[in-house]
Amino acid sequence: MRKTFAAAVLGLCAAASALADTWPSKPVTLLVPFPPGGSTDMIARTVGAKLQEKLGASFIVDNKAGAGGTVGATQARRATPDGHTIFVSSLGPFVIGPHLIKNPGYDPLKDFDYITVAVQAPNVLAVPANSPHRTFADLLKFIKANPDKMSFASAGNGTSDHLTAELFWQETATKAVHVPYKGGAPAMSDLMAGVVDATFMNINTGIPNIKAGKLRALAITSARRSPLLPEVPTMEELGFKGVTVYSWQAFAAPKGLPADIKTTLRDAIVAVLNDPAVKPKLLELGFEIVGNTPEQFTSFQASEFARWKKVIEVGKISAD
């Protein structure tokens, strides 16, 4: 029996090795749980185009949007874990959606093999150009003296800009009015028109209007000042280390991805991110290159999952 068991184990190892040696043996689907045109879609398409050159197979982006990204995450979980379906997503389906949607169809702590966080980008606390709040101190003084008088726009309930605002209120012991929109575009439009008072927007979204003088940036949620906005202080500098926040895009796979494929894919993705034809363009858009290991991503995902769970519970936030 021992010989039979050993032979079976060796057979499985040989099969896994053979699979890794021949991967990719057909087109690889990069499953994105959001519509085309957003940051996650852009990262998937940028990296996918270069992976084709490096790995010699087609990488095809498949957008499966719905329910804050949980529809796509559920589809990714059900895929065969042979390296031919890769889940490319922002933090939402990994660490936010499961706390907002009952029975989302997957368990982000158990159903995926984490490959790498590709990039991250901070959020910027911004107000209209004609706002009376010219500094962060002005805004904080007003919001402390006037609970529930200042309005904060977001792209919708449970989005990164919404949860960053909620975290900000919790850390500063303040209260304000959340105004959710159906997407970032209408939120941006009303912010610039002065219909709402402030927002925490992703730096990628905010940079053009900040540079054009249509918005004023008061603070940034990165650990260090951004080279794109060197004059804008970090929340940590301003005394609120707990509001250091990043949005991020990452690559994962259905649970059971062979180790050799995981290593090959992670190394290829990191090489693409640091490619001289790719890296400068990402930096110009406000992204920071991460490219961590599967082990680091797994640990990071767990800590982010716990962090946003607490924010959502304390803030009594729902998806409605």
> pLDDT tens for residues 167-222?
999 999 999 999 999 888 899 999 999 999 999 999 999 999 999 999 999 999 99
CB of 232 closer than 8 Å to CB of 220: yes
Domain count, the chain: 2
**What share of the chain in percent tops pLDDT 70?**
93
Residues 255 and 302 in one domain: yes
Are 13 and 77 contained in the same domain?
yes
**Summary count for the chain: helices (H), strands (E):** 12, 10
Task: Please say which residue of 218, 243, 268 terminates a domain.
Answer: 243
Q: Which residue, of 224, 243, 262, is where some domain finishes?
A: 243
Q: What is the CA radius of gyration of the chain?
A: 21
The answer on 277 and 234 residing in a single domain is no
Domain range for 172 is: 122-243
Question: Does an H or E element contain 74, and which?
Answer: helix 70-78
Paired sense of beta strands 151-154 and 198-202, if any = parallel
Q: What is the pLDDT of residue 318?
A: 84
For residues 308 and 320, give the distance between their C-alpha atoms in angstroms, rounded to a whole number. 17
CATH code for the domain in which residue 200 is found:
3.40.190.10
On average, the pLDDT of the chain sits at 93
Q: Are residues 157 and 206 in the same domain?
A: yes
Whether residue 216 is found in the same domain as residue 111: no
The candidate with the shortest Cα–Cα distance to 165, out of 201, 122, 196, 209, is 201
Mean pLDDT of 136-151: 97
Cα(48)–Cα(218) distance, integer angstroms: 35
**pLDDT of 241-282, one tens digit each?**
999 999 999 999 999 999 999 999 999 999 999 999 999 999
CB burial string 24-63: b at 16+ within 10 A, e below: beeebbbbbbbeeebbbbbbbbbbbebbbeeeeeebebeb
Q: How confident is the model at residue 16 (pLDDT cuts 50, 70, 90)?
A: very low
Q: How far apart are the first and last CA of the chain?
A: 57
The pLDDT-based confidence of 14 (bands split at 50, 70, 90) is: very low
pTM tops 0.85, yes or no: yes
List 60's β-bridge partners, or say none.
Answer: 29
Asked whether residue 126 falls in the same domain as residue 181, the answer is yes
Q: Within this chain, do residues 12 and 27 fall inside the same structural domain, yes or no?
A: yes
* pLDDT confidence tier of residue 157, bands split at 50, 70 and 90: confident
User: Cα–Cα distance between 221 and 120 in angstroms, integer?
Assistant: 12
| Whether pLDDT at 15 is above 50 | no
Residue 320, in any domain of the structure: no
Residues 126 and 238 in one domain: yes
Residue that finishes a domain, picked among 243, 275, 299: 243
Say what the pLDDT of residue 17 is. Answer: 46
Same domain, 297 and 201: no
